[in-house]
Structure 1
């Protein structure tokens, strides 16, 4: 009873209730006025038709267009109004402007060494083009960088604690989810000690990701301990599109020499201390060397953006000298090895789906194989076509998804994509020990991406994400070993399995597919 009461009076329950009340009030008010005034009814229908025409002529993803067009046609009276409340917002313009201002503060500090691109071009012109694309998005490719791949949260956690204990100057932490428990409490105790030693400790956490995990205004508690803290995009019951833009990134930077990113959040299920959906499989990568600077800059960009709004930072933004957090080329040993590392970020406000484009380029340039870890498979026609084309061209395309889902409705949509991929020769595996949360691409023993980007619409279009593009690094062998030892413990999905799905389940999948671009 206490647990039920706690849920009912939680912040997330109250926000959802207020959100629902507003939407219900809008619908009821619209219906009441339209029944009383015929001209208003006609106006709303004409307005919805105009909105449909506006949507179809826009440059957004076709799948996203289809979802809104269907919703507006089903609910012509209030569908158009909902679209402008939830998909078009003046706040988005301001949001976009502030993000671009904070990005401009570091853009001149992220310059590409053209000699590195030239070296890659001599090895492979196709991969050089990929690196050049990412570089043009503001993220250079580096040499003189070591990487290590972690195939579990447990390994990552041991390494993380070991390295933050060694911090001398600063620790930057940015996460979608922070949850009280053994993992976070252990990290926090080390951070408290580091603050006492004079280390600059800063934390960014996403308000939606931590909504039912951390107390309201938890940042005040962290600040009282000497930890600087900002909350990204505070959640509110007022419906607007900016609430869709979540900080899904996971970044830790230590002294500018070491950084981590990947799928692992700071919560006990990620290290299998607490079991939620069977065994939790995840992945992360450690970066040590010149490439750490890009991850440092990513953090500072967002820190500048949030601190300028006084959202849980306790101050307005005063632009810092970012060079004091930078390690320069002279700080690292120059290496002749052809190992290239390129951290990148993806933003929903720049109209450039960087993560999706990197994934597509890897799929379409593959000659031997493409192996994929993803917790969700909710993709558009372009991604489906690329995967099918690669498989039909003789490329060994394998996708590993969870067998035990964390969200049943997303899992149903994920499974609804299986038949069209299997028919083309794509091989699909479900991770039977539990829930797979890893996000990794591996191609032809020489290219890989490890990061935070799922194969779903929210990651590809709505969230702030990040990843590490790897070319010829030693960690690629570690990633390959992880795939090869994972396949045998998975359930192989066949077309026959898909044909056995009963009719009610197929109808539900078809219905949920309408809302796939919102997942």
Structure 2
């Protein structure tokens, strides 16, 4: 756009000014606009887009060619549909996913079945999976569980013991130990997290690890980057990793090189390249900061100005975060290093060099379990933790989430908790960031409300928080939304708190936020625009693919 603006501006000056100096200015502007236009045409994003379109056209042409063999094609289609349906009916997919695939395969047998095969083979991600699995295996010796903690949970807190045992790896799960010698600090806003983060970054002595889904140039990232530059000059090791998708939206393709020039080790996770692959479906949605192995941050807050309300996008931005101190930081350190090592074998990835640096005295505050979820295995850790909270709740479960695209298991857990008399409340955005997920979320409202779930919309703006709090003694703060993207397709992380003093603050924040919300009723649902209702119902057919 800047290139076009330059050309228009140049033409405007040419029309109005006869002065020779202005003519030279026009020539310079035209040349700048021309060069900008050429950079746009031959940029990496344009080349990638063109090559992806070419591959899609080849696929379409292949189907067109097959259509000439009509009789044979009909027989082939019948065989393919039968095989595909048998596979779907006997698969472990949830009910809605099976229906979605059938709606795609039955009318379009060959392309639909090939698409199903393509997603199941997951062509293009095998190397990523193999490397990540190796990194996880290498890190297992450093994520050991203190058995005395598990014994205490088993004796006094049996239901939480079962979840802790599952997360700590005693039941063929990943290895996420439960810690006692740690504490948490909850932040009810991006602004609060930003202030604490800057203080901790300035105190760094050894290393700073940062992993974010979104980094956007502005006030927030500018202030943090200035601190990181100073720390590099002091000899602190700084690593920054962000999801490769944002190279299409907020950062330039050479941004890692720009950071490297100032001494910051940087990389983009899974950058987009000009080849069709399911690899791109797996995004790094985590938000992790680790400082000296002593302090860690996670939560919903990315490094962009809307998260601290320096700019307004979708009204007031409500978000949350959490800071961990003590032994529990080890899990976040290892999670970062596991992901970093996926595509970097040169940097020092010796876990022992970055653990055991806990020099600050920390008074234990309940039980803390940092954990992560990966789309590259069959274990839905994020969803399992949420469902466990719902299934064992006695009094209440209060939830903040920006999106609501549920599989049958999660929908059943929410409804069953409410039907048992548990006070289940959800706070959703009042001003959406995306119209399609917003319309889709509303298709779940009526059935949840009939079961007794109460739903509220945050009228000042957008809720980006991902929070579960239950019965005054359980809570989760992390990056995991209630949608298919987070629960199935993204790398995610969170912190589970049990009998921790910050849980009361999390519940208070929920109640404070509730004061700015409007309850959804059957009357308000009835008065929704017809276009919103229709869009939600249509899109729900392909919800698992969103």
* TM-score of the aligned structures, taking structure 1 as reference length: 0.93
Of 198-207 and 8-17, more deviation after overlay is shown by 8-17
Instruction: Note if contact 1:144-1:332 (Cα within 8 Å) is conserved in structure 2.
Output: no
Question: Are 1:58 and 2:91 matched, yes or no?
Answer: yes
Deviations 1:418-463 (A, max 9, x none): 0000001100000110010000000001000000000000100110
Tell me the distance in 1 between the aligned counterparts of 2:148 and 2:442.
45
Instruction: Note if contact 1:369-1:397 (Cα within 8 Å) is conserved in structure 2.
Output: yes
Question: Are 1:82 and 2:115 matched, yes or no?
Answer: yes
Select 2:130's aligned residue among 97, 105, 108.
97
Question: Are 1:132 and 2:165 matched, yes or no?
Answer: yes
Instruction: Note if contact 2:294-2:357 (Cα within 8 Å) is conserved in structure 1.
Output: no
Deviations 1:97-147 (A, max 9, x none): 111001111111100001111222233111111111111120001112121
Select 2:59's aligned residue among 5, 26, 30.
26
Select 1:199's aligned residue among 226, 230, 236.
236
Question: Are 1:423 and 2:465 matched, yes or no?
Answer: no
Q: CA deviation at 1:212?
A: 1.2
Select 1:326's aligned residue among 341, 349, 355.
355
| Structure 1: 5+ residue stretches without partners | 308-315
Tell me the distance in 1 between the aligned counterparts of 2:368 and 2:394.
21
Tell me the distance in 1 between the aligned counterparts of 2:530 and 2:221.
44
Select 1:361's aligned residue among 378, 381, 388.
388
What does residue 168 of structure 1 align with? 205
| Structure 2: 5+ residue stretches without partners | 6-35
Q: Which of the two has higher C-alpha Rg? A: 2
Q: CA deviation at 1:328?
A: 5.8
Select 1:178's aligned residue among 207, 215, 235.
215
Q: CA deviation at 1:96?
A: 1.7
| Mapping for residues 71-470 of structure 1, pairs under 5 Å | 71-136=104-169, 137-307=174-344, 316-317=345-346, 320-327=349-356, 331=359, 333=361, 335=363, 339-470=366-497
Instruction: Note if contact 1:85-1:239 (Cα within 8 Å) is conserved in structure 2.
Output: no
Tell me the distance in 2 between the aligned counterparts of 1:17 and 1:450.
40
Tell me the distance in 2 between the aligned counterparts of 1:191 and 1:98.
29
Q: CA deviation at 1:510?
A: 1.3
Instruction: Note if contact 2:123-2:279 (Cα within 8 Å) is conserved in structure 1.
Output: no
Select 2:503's aligned residue among 463, 476, 482.
476
Instruction: Note if contact 2:473-2:499 (Cα within 8 Å) is conserved in structure 1.
Output: yes
Of 359-368 and 338-347, more deviation after overlay is shown by 338-347
Using a 3 Å threshold, how does the CA distance of structure 1 residues 14 and 406 change in structure 2: closer, same or farther?
farther
* TM-score of the aligned structures, taking structure 2 as reference length: 0.89
Using a 3 Å threshold, how does the CA distance of structure 1 residues 504 and 434 change in structure 2: closer, same or farther?
closer
Instruction: Note if contact 2:292-2:357 (Cα within 8 Å) is conserved in structure 1.
Output: no
Using a 3 Å threshold, how does the CA distance of structure 1 residues 55 and 19 change in structure 2: closer, same or farther?
farther
Using a 3 Å threshold, how does the CA distance of structure 1 residues 20 and 371 change in structure 2: closer, same or farther?
farther
Deviations 1:307-346 (A, max 9, x none): 1xxxxxxxx44663211111267x45474x5511110010
Question: Are 1:485 and 2:512 matched, yes or no?
Answer: yes
Instruction: Note if contact 2:211-2:336 (Cα within 8 Å) is conserved in structure 1.
Output: yes
Q: CA deviation at 1:195?
A: 0.6
Aligned partner of residue 494 in structure 2, secondary structure: strand
Using a 3 Å threshold, how does the CA distance of structure 1 residues 473 and 13 change in structure 2: closer, same or farther?
farther
Using a 3 Å threshold, how does the CA distance of structure 1 residues 187 and 480 change in structure 2: closer, same or farther?
same
Instruction: Note if contact 1:343-1:467 (Cα within 8 Å) is conserved in structure 2.
Output: yes
Query: What is the count of residue pairs matched by the alignment?
Result: 509
Tell me the distance in 1 between the aligned counterparts of 2:314 and 2:44.
25
Of 378-387 and 1-10, more deviation after overlay is shown by 1-10
Using a 3 Å threshold, how does the CA distance of structure 1 residues 266 and 365 change in structure 2: closer, same or farther?
same
Aligned partner of residue 465 in structure 2, secondary structure: coil
Q: CA RMSD in A?
A: 2.1
Select 2:539's aligned residue among 503, 512, 515.
512
